[in-house]
Structure 1
């Protein structure tokens, strides 16, 4: 299902594997995540390239339909704070884009339906 192969740090891979086993996901998302995890390249978390979305990444995405951009940082659940634009690693958006590189197009089923996003920028420092 995935055209672009994911690159996941070992920590992110463990988090997604655990989430896959316990979360309630739509059929589409469950199948997509299963395939992504099956085919992902797993590397040491501290070796994750700067342009690949991982834990603590700062990300700018564009909604392909509305052309609106959103910026946020992906953090552990206990550090999530919407006022500071910090989203949980277990949020639908974070799960959708973890492991993808800057420039990737990602389709994921969100609460409002199937959405398409472009990952415009990824960095480790703001």
Structure 2
């Protein structure tokens, strides 16, 4: 006999507010066709939770995320905040920036694929921590 956990095995986990922001990005046609189709698929299977119920290792607003570009091997750390709080002088980035939209709802260890200005890129989320 096997037991299963209640955590979703597929799909991203988003707070209701972030889910609504991403739906708005699709409505406003702010994404490439590749990214729009990918995000629509992800949102269909997404689990929506209250912000306080998000697991600590899920990428959302007010998190520090270290991501590895799987082609170059380069690691970069981003401080993700809501669009209204993003300030270059504070070294913070909006959750609606291309790299952030690609990672929202995923947890540490996940691999994501997203179309950037220089083509489709593959990333691995190395670490997620609260700001």
Q: TM-score, normalised by structure 2?
A: 0.88
* Bigger helix fraction: 1
- Superposition pairs for residues 43-62 of structure 1, below 5 Å? 43-62=49-68
Tell me how far apart the structure 2 counterparts of residues 98 and 117 of structure 1 sit (CA, whole Å).
13
- Which structure 1 residue ranges, 4+ long, deviate > 4 Å from structure 2? none
Shift of 1:23: 3.3
* SS at structure 1 position matched to 2:21: helix
Question: Which 5+ residue runs of structure 1 have no aligned equivalent?
Answer: none
Rg comparison, structure with higher value: 2
Tell me how far apart the structure 1 counterparts of residues 101 and 29 of structure 2 sit (CA, whole Å).
11
Q: For 1:90, which of 89, 96, 111 is the aligned residue?
A: 96
Aligned pairs, number: 123
What residue in structure 2 maps to residue 119 of structure 1?
Answer: 125
Question: Which 5+ residue runs of structure 2 have no aligned equivalent?
Answer: 1-8
CA root-mean-square deviation: 1.4
What residue in structure 1 maps to residue 116 of structure 2?
Answer: 110
Q: TM-score, normalised by structure 1?
A: 0.91
Shift of 1:84: 3.2
Is 1:68–2:74 an aligned residue pair?
yes
What residue in structure 1 maps to residue 4 of structure 2?
Answer: none
Tell me how far apart the structure 2 counterparts of residues 111 and 83 of structure 1 sit (CA, whole Å).
24
Tell me how far apart the structure 1 counterparts of residues 28 and 38 of structure 2 sit (CA, whole Å).
16
What residue in structure 1 maps to residue 24 of structure 2?
Answer: 18
Shift of 1:27: 1.1
